[in-house]
Structures are given as C-alpha cells and as structure tokens.
Structure 1
Amino acid sequence: MAQASEIEWTDATWNPVTGCTKIGPGCDNCYASRFAERWRGIDGHPYEQGFDLRLWPDRLEQPLRWKKPRLIFVNSMSDLFHKDVPVSYINSVFETMESADQHVFQVLTKRSSLLRKYINQRYQESVAPDHIWLGVSVEDREHSSRIEHLKQANASIRFVSFEPLLGPIGKVNLGGIAWAIVGGESGPKARPMDPKWARELRDQCLRQDVSFFFKQWGGPRPKSGGRTLDGEIWDGFPVHRMKKPMSEMFARS
C-alpha cells in the first residue's frame, strides 16, 4: 500500500511492484531486500514471497485517490524498469502518474538503458510531463554511464541519486540534470562514505546550477551519522522547475 515515508526527499511511497534482483555493488546491502526477506514464508504477509518480483495490480490506482498533493517515490521496494516487469504493466503505472498530476512522482532506477528506451518510445514527440521526475542511481564512477543514459531520455525533470555513494565519482557533466541526492550507506554492513566524495559532488552541483540534497552520512542506522555536510543542511529541490513554489504544493514540515 502507499505509505507515508521517512525518506527525507519524499512524502510517500507507492509500490505497484515489489521485489528485485541485484545488478551492481550498490545493491549488495539492499535495505529493501533485507526488510522483505524477514517475512518470507509468512502466509498472508505482503512479503510472504520475500524479495521475489511481484506485481500488485490492485495498487495501480492508489495515487488517484490521494487528493492532497505530495511527492511520491515510486517503487521504493523495487525497480519499475526491471527486465521482468512487462511493458504493458509499466504503461499502466505511467497512465496513473499522468492522470494524477496533482502529485509529483519520483521514479528511480539502476536500469538506465531500459528507462531511456521506454521513455523515448512513450514520449516520441514530446517529453515526459514535468510532474514525473525520472532518475538513476549511481554508486561509483564505474556506473556513471547511467547519467548519460538519463540525459538521453525525453524527460522534463532528471535527477541522480548518488546513494549509497561507494567511491569517488570524479568530474561529471550534469548538464540537463535538475537535482542530485547524495547519501552514505546504512545498515549492519554499511560501507563508509569518504567526505571528499560528497564534497566533490556538492561543489560540482553548485557550479553547474544543480539542486543539491545531502541525505545522510549513513552507518548502522540511516540517521547514525546525521545529515550535515560541513556544518550545513543541504535540502535542495528543483523548485525552480516546478509550476508552483514547494510551500504551495506540498505540506512539508
């Protein structure tokens, strides 16, 4: 079901798909997999199948029933562009998002080439609506090609989540990117994030006019290391690209 979220950069989560498979080092200690596998084999539990991929058609229209505008993270417990999610089902998810334009939807994937292919087929003569933000996760320099795939997609608002940040990204061209999120890994096997990596990304965002959001340092728990970077809270959002100020669209505390 759709739920209020403790993730700092969103208001709620919506999971019309759950479950996934690992495709890179950023997936090694996946929080969603760790959570879901606790319930494997428990009859009647939403995660009785653990983290195996599952479609939830009965959840497809949930955002249409939410009248109050909110930021919605799509598939916090999966990846919409997993190769085993049928295109027809992805179409249904996009139809809901297109209709529920009182919200902003945040779609995040590691499968960047599949995102690019789908978006460019769906919006051949235009771009995705500006209330559907499209993003990719990048954990280190070796996976930065995902950013280029995203830049090639017909999107209005593009964002990159550098979380968990597992290594330096180096110099990166963020042209066409509206928003960057940076965060360290959390959980019992969390790998530390070097402050230099976060500062390097922050400084590049500032130079390239990209909204910068510092989510967390990480550690055994998400809030273990706090959220300040060089003594400041960085809560940048791409508000300059939205139709209304954030304060008018969302009730954020």
Structure 2
Amino acid sequence: MAASTQIEWTDATWNPVTGCSKLTRGCDFCYAERFSERFRGVPGHPFESGFDLTLRPERLRQPLSWRTPRRIFVNSMSDLFHKEIPLPFIDAVFDTMEGANWHTYQILTKRSSLLVKYLRHRYGNGLAPKHLWLGVSVEDEKNLVRLRHLQKAQASVKFVSFEPLLGPVGEVDLTGIDWAIVGGESGPHARPMAEEWAIEIRDQCRASQVAFFFKQWGGIRPKSGGRLLKGREWNQYPHIAAATPTSEAVRTE
C-alpha cells in the first residue's frame, strides 16, 4: 500500500494484485504497464515479473493496519475483476474492505460484466456497503456499455472514470451514477483530449446532479497540461460515505 499518491482523486493505493492484460484502446499505453515493465527481470524487485498478472496475498490485510480513515484506490496497478483472478481471492479482498470499514474504497474496472456477476454472487439481492465505491472506466462512446452494466450492478455508490478520454461520448444516461471523473492520457504516446469532450460530460453531470472531478489534461507527464477546465479546478465528490475536509460537495452553477 502506498501511504500517498499523485492520483488527485484518492488518498492512497492498495494493490493486492498487480499486472493485467489489454482489452480496448484505452489500454494501449497503460501507465501501470509502462511502470512495471521497467523492472522486469530485476532480481528481488516487486515487479521482477513485469506486468504479468500477480496475486500478492501478503498484502491482503494491509488496510486493517491503517487507522486513519482515507480514500483508497484498490488495484491501481491491475483490475480486480480480471478473469484470471480466482474468486476466493476476490472474496478475500472484499473481506478486508468490509472489515476495515473506516476507509472508503474506490474500485475501478473495465470488466464491467464480471463486476455485475461478482456483486450478485456476494450480496445476493442486497447492495454492497456504502464505503465501497464501484466504478468503470470508459474511454469513448463505443465503451459506454460498461456504464450500462454498472447501472445494473448491486452497488450503493457508483462512479465512472472517463480516462483516458479518447473521443466524445455523446449523450450519456447518468441515472444512478454518483460521481464522474474526466482525464486525458499521459505518457510518451499520449493521445490528446479535446476540450469539448470534457465540457460535454461536465455539463451533463451538472444537469443530472452528478459530482464531477476533472483530473488532468495529460501530456508527456500527468501534470503537463494542468487541471484547469474553463479557468477552474473541478474537485467534486459525492455526498456519500467518508469524506475528507478538503472534499468539495457537488453543486451546480
């Protein structure tokens, strides 16, 4: 677990799994893969096996030792619903999150149908606890099916990350969605994000009373383009679960 992170919308990261495999064009220049592969073959390094999917059972109970409540991004270096992660291991991750319930957990996936299936398995006809925020990544209009899957999921808190935003998403049904994040791609092969794509999402969030967070424009480095959208930062969080004093409540203007 990282006690701090440069990811603007969270406080810490926790990676009981690392490594993944590519699904769609949003994965083409994955930052986690780029970082991990730098250390492939380095003896004793945590990423000695590069970005190969790796279970890390020694990390499963880490959040229990963190007594100060914080927002924790789960598997920033993987996808918890990767099809090769055994169900008992996912169960163990959820056991820890439910046990250390003074934290807020942010779980993002591109494997939205597996998310829906897992929540049904775990909670039956009920909902996941409110301190578990379940979300999907959507990079363009073609992948909005993930958002529709999320809307069916048995989650109390639902969010969508439009990052890296690689194209317009058009008109989006935000029914049941609590939070939206928008961000451009970063890295040596970063593809540019048009301002109108971000504005389109922001305006729909405002109309639907969905909290909106603008993470970055992106570029060679994550902070290359700054975080201002139409002259201001957008740092909204939903009115749900634990929130730090720096949280900005959703509002419309």
Letter in 2 for 1:7: I
What is residue 178 of structure 1 aligned with on the other side?
A: 178
Q: What letter matches 2:43 in structure 1?
A: D
Taking the aligned partners of 1:41 and 1:190, their CA distance within structure 2 comes to 26
Contact 1:2 1:62 in 2 (8 A): no
AA partner of residue 66 (structure 2): W
What is the distance in 1 between the residues matched to 2:3 and 2:77? 12
Q: Does 1:241 align with 2:248?
A: no
Give the count of matched residue pairs: 247
Map of 1:207 onto structure 2: 207
Deviations 1:27-59 (A, max 9, x none): 000000000000000010000000000000000
> Does structure 1 residue 14 correspond to structure 2 residue 14?
yes
Q: Within 1, Cα distance between the matches of 2:154 and 2:144?
A: 19
Q: Structure 2: any 5+ residue segments left out of the alignment?
A: 248-253
TM-score, with structure 2 as normaliser:
0.96
Q: Which amino acid in the other structure matches residue 240 of structure 2? A: R
Q: Deviations over 1:75-112 (max 9, x none)?
A: 00000000000000000000000000110000000000
Deviates most, 121-130 or 53-62: 121-130
Q: Give the TM-score, by structure 1 length.
A: 0.96
Residue of structure 1 in register with 2:87 after alignment: 87
Q: Residue type matched to 1:209 in 2? A: Q
Q: 2 CA distance for matches of 1:241 and 1:70?
A: 13
TM-superposed CA distance for 1:181, in Å, is: 0.1
| Counterpart-to-counterpart distance in 2, 1:95 and 1:160 | 24
1:248 positional shift: 9.1
Matches within 5 A, 1:39-54: 39-54=39-54
Q: CA deviation at 1:3?
A: 3.6
**Aligned counterpart, 2:123:** 123
User: Separation in 1 of the partners of 2:2 and 2:184?
Assistant: 25
Residue 77, structure 1, aligned to residue 74, structure 2: no
CA distance in 2, matches of 1:86, 1:219: 36
Partner of 1:36: 36
Deviation at 1:246, TM superposition (A): 3.2
Aligned to 1:145: 145
Question: Deviation digits for residues 172-206 of structure 1, max 9, x if unmatched?
Answer: 00010000000000000000000000000000000
Structure 1 counterpart of 2:251: none
Counterpart residue type for residue 22 of structure 1: K
Match of 1:157 in 2: 157
The one-letter code of the counterpart of 1:228 is L
2:74 is aligned with 1:105: no
Moved over 4 A (4+): none
Name the amino acid aligned to 1:15: N
Secondary structure at the counterpart of residue 237 of structure 2: coil
